[in-house]
Chains A and B, each alone.
Chain A
Amino acid sequence: MTGWHANTVAELSAALHEGSVSSVELTGLYLARIAQHQGALNAFISVTQEAALLQAERADARLRAGERGALIGVPIAHKDIFCTAGERTTCGSRMLANFVSPYDATVVERLRAAGAVMLGKTNMDEFAMGSSSETSYFGPVRNPWDPARVPGGSSGGSAPAATATDTGGSIRQPAALCGVTGLKPTYGRVSRFGMVAFASSLDQGGLLTISAEDAAVLLAAMAGFDERDSTSVELPVPDYTASLAQPLKGLKIGLLHEFFDQGLDPQIEQRIRDALDVLRLEGASLRDVSLPNLPLSVPTYYVVAPAECSSNLARFDGVRYGYRCERPRDLLDLYQRSRGEGFGAEVKRRIMVGTYVLSAGYYDAYYLKAQRVRALISADFARAFHEVDVLIGPTTPTAAFELGAKTGDPVTMYLNDIYTIGANLAGLPAISVPCGFVQGLPVGMQIIGPHFSEPRLLNVAHRYQCESDWHRRAPPGFT
């Protein structure tokens, strides 16, 4: 019964279908692993043991009845930003510490219908605002490769796969820093219904998995039109697994000039160049591409995202749900203290930045200006995709940093997102795949493609993973 945790979703599914393991056995094993590592990593906010075992029994019954399906009985975890009916959804905040959603997020509903078993809800930066998972009301998450270091902006924990969200890099950055695969789909590809809103023009649900193949299997179950999300696109969902093995011959890769700049750790650059050699041997050609406005993506993001956050988080008023302060003097005091006490420091900072850039006299100078620069960045990407099929660069400028190293200065923390934000601003899909180590810490290679090019991204990532085993490495003590 040992060793199952190292398996991909595809491998687990095969074992479940041939009957060499049951979903109840697997679920029990993962629950035990969560209990074993929770103290050291703090990866979970809630573990939904009873519900998980019930779901696993139901999955086993479906399998016994001869039903087939890639996710039946496979244990997964959800980031605690996805609403789950009857279970707590905290978004890492005191504001929602006791919130039980009356409904399921579309993503949760679809994965449950596909037979996946929910183990629990993973820890995260409060309201998904952060690049280190240190701002959670429930304590920081630690990196399994070195518990003194941060895991990045969300966590897959010990589950074989987890849902996640990406507003400025919150899937790809932790994927890179923890040595797993992280897919942020095209804006509108995955329903945002029931996903607690941070910045609605940037937020997108996606996945943290061991392999690109697993991301393909899970995305197929999650993606698709949802009339309850007004930004959900009405496009058919392709068979993401069908094109995975396609040869890379003729693939044109653009090397993002702006990503190989002075801020990049030279050892990380070397790992990316090694990975590019592998892709070249597979038949891909490389050329340099420049996106001149890309260096402005961080300042653009830190206007647009806080502006949308200040508007979205106005709903937390201490009246209808969420935290309420003790003994309010009057209604204004109730609003101010409920919000002042219910939100953590980083969330308050972003609400204030957003309030400021939207306030009378500053709206044109900051908010509209940022949306204009965003249009320039988006046009840069569109031009690049006339020349190349995908763009490749590092996911992060450094490997995982130590806890507390960047909490003193928000701007230093924000610059971690320098390579990931561009795809969010332009609504593009992007994937981070493990491509080696620097001083024992994982490094991620980022592949960005045109809108709705998920099949191509997964194909490139999968072919790379067929030729490398970085994504199968486990931290010492977690094998």
Chain B
Amino acid sequence: MIQRILSIFPVLLTVATLAFALQAIAPGDPARLLVEASGLSPAPPEAVAAKRQELGLDAPVIERYLRWIGDAAQGDLGRSHRTYQPVTSMYLERMPATLALALVAAAISAVIALPLGILTAWQRGSWIDRLGQLVAVIGTAAPGFWVALMLMYVFGIRLGWLPVFGSLTPSGIILPAIVVALPNIAFLTRLTRMATLEVLSADFLTVARMKGLSEWRLALRHVTPNVLAEISTMLGLQLAGLMTGAAVVEYVFAWPGIGRLAVESALVRDTPVVVGFAVMAGLIFVVVNLITDLLVARLDPRVRSL
């Protein structure tokens, strides 16, 4: 358990190192950009020189690297080259919107994909199995930003049922959440189907069936809990992906989340903010994963020895 918790640090260190390398190869003088961002434009040379001194930009690479790692460990990822705001607080401000979107999308995917996955495995080869496969194919192949535009057109402009741009309201979250959930539904349906097929061929199920239990009882009492145990690790992984992988969809819907901030910063080449997003994504991934592993270990006695 302790080992599992400690194992996240090498990953985070490498992510921070990659982020440092990215900033090092980015064009433009960070000192001048920062002085300009703080409101002095064009930047006076002495202010730039002072900023260089303050940031330690003239120090050897190794010293700058250690400084960056030390700052990052304390949650300081530098300041935006555009707004001069601290990167970390920019992301923290937008985190609730992204978390809300990811949770709603996760709920939508689970509600659709779990029954569909179990049903398609149960009725292997039937029309519902084919329908499930069609959903999986379309869900993985449709570009999210395009689905977003099309849904905005149909439900926002033509029918006028839902707001075109996302907002933190029950009606404003529906369209973005559906788009974010779509590839997830496809993936989760396939995964659930595979896990169910595996459970269906297990010995205990044959025994249960021979005891003459009804199909419904088999499905609810014997199959579903085992399938859930199989895929629960993946559900956690998916949540991390939903939070950071939705950047383009957030941007299209003007959703006030971390992904939209990252895309907008990438478009104006605000390097510290863009690089900060990569660090945040890595952090979200390892933390969500860790929590999932610990939860699964608690819930599933077979892996408790972890």
- Asked if A and B bind, the verdict is no
